[in-house]
Chains A and B, each alone.
Chain A
């Protein structure tokens, strides 16, 4: 079963001569273990796709399924519960809560879900350690570099074994080396059985994905998926 499935999804805003087709007839399936990148110019529908995938918005046609649940059939409470358990978000600007430490930021989703504070804090410390942030648990966001803040945001997004990671330009505010670290962590999340959708303008980071989907004016216009390098290396020519 796909972790995320968009089936002929459209999102239309307005009607008549003010109608905006944000997304038109888009189908996309993301399996466990898969990292899919979405590229396209500004206004091509990338963020709309991500909002629909995470249940922050509903399509005007078609269906969105997360872990097999059709989001349109869920009531508000069920949708909120599914978002807490199955979906994590990472944004360009990290969106950490300034008054909470790194570990408190990460443990917050678990605490909101009823896990007791001590247990949630322990899980957050473990999650940060897995992202090579051991020793920085008690720092406040202001005392962390951009790359460290994004690691905290990733830990917060995947804590509680949420499988689907949705990332909107997560490397946009980072330098090349730090951006690469973020992609390594997203890659690792998928290699460990998670799934992720990465929206990016940057081909260098999109290339970490298994598949790259190109949007233009709300439509999927192309898809790239390279063959395995092993087979190429066998026939490869040395420079």
Chain B
């Protein structure tokens, strides 16, 4: 998540000072990503150093900033190009399945079931947060919950397909009644907290 670009986007709408930007940032992100006011001023300092924002005088004793032409160009570039995602990391869940498939005495389908249960329970948690919200709740909050839901659902789909692949591979004989593995990776999901 790019805090500098988010600050630039807010300044595009008019001059603001740090505390205003902190509150506006938190409002727009459904209060899910709290922002320290010190972090806002540090970021503004870097943006000023790079010529992307400029000091615009004091308002009610607060240092106010405006976006510059370079800042506007930088912002247009950000909106105009897809977000660069990191190359695939060594995902622990993927590693676990790959290792389980060759480990003697480990029932890979039992590992998959356990992981799927944990993922679905996490999905249930996110969905209940959605259920508790009315249909006209903050769009930002819904968009954030949707992102968590779709990412977790993708894991469940991948687990389903992996189970079918292992089951159709003669090297992996499924043992549906095998012992359940220890703890799944998603046993204690961290839940988003809605902002005040």
> Which residues of A are interface residues toward B (Cβ below 8 A)?
41, 184, 187, 202-204, 206-209, 212, 214, 216-217, 219, 221-229, 232-233, 236-239
Contact = CB atoms under 8 A, between A and B. Distances in A.
Contacts of B127: 204, 207-208
Contacts of A227: 121, 125
B176 A229 contact: no
Contact of A238 (B122, B150, B156, B193): B193
A33 to B, nearest CB: 14
A226 B192 contact: no
Nearest to A39: B120
Nearest to A201: B160
B193 A184 contact: no
Given A212-B120, A238-B34, A207 B191 contact: no
- B: interface residue count bin: 20 to 34
Given A208-B127, A236-B192, 20 more contacts: A41-B160, A41-B164, A184-B131, A203-B119, A203-B120, A203-B123, A208-B131, A214-B113, A214-B116, A214-B117, A222-B113, A224-B124, A225-B121, A227-B121, A229-B129, A232-B189, A236-B190, A236-B191, A237-B191, A238-B32
- A-B complex: 8 closest residue pairs judged by Cβ atoms: A207-B123, A226-B124, A236-B191, A226-B121, A203-B156, A207-B127, A237-B190, A224-B120
B157 interface: yes
12 contacts: A206-B120, A207-B123, A214-B116, A224-B121, A225-B124, A226-B122, A229-B132, A236-B191, A236-B193, A238-B32, A239-B32, A239-B192
B41 interface: no
Contacts of A236: 190-193
Contacts of A239: 32-33, 190, 192
B151 to A, nearest CB: 11
Contact of A187 (B121, B123, B131): B131
Contacts of A207: 120, 123-124, 126-127, 149
Nearest to B128: A229
Contacts of B176: 216-217, 219, 221
B128 A228 contact: yes
Interface in B89-130: 113, 116-117, 119-129
Report which residue of B34, B119, B121, B128 has the largest number of chain A beta carbons within 10 angstroms of its beta carbon. B128
B135 interface: yes
B167 to A, nearest CB: 9
Given A224-B120, A226-B124, A238-B193, A203 B32 contact: no
A188 to B, nearest CB: 10
B6 to A, nearest CB: 15
A203 B122 CA distance: 11
Interface string B159-189: 0100010000000000010000000000001
Given A219-B176, A221-B176, A226 B128 contact: yes
B126 to A, nearest CB: 7
B153 interface: yes
Contacts of A214: 113, 116-117
A232 B153 contact: no
A52 to B, nearest CB: 22
Nearest to A233: B191
A216 B112 CA distance: 13
Contacts of A202: 153
A116 to B, nearest CB: 36
A184 B120 contact: no
Contacts of A208: 127, 131
Nearest to B118: A224
A216 to B, nearest CB: 6
A227 B153 CA distance: 18
A53 to B, nearest CB: 21
A227 B189 CA distance: 11
Interface string B34-78: 100000000000000000000000000000000000000000000
A236 B194 CA distance: 11
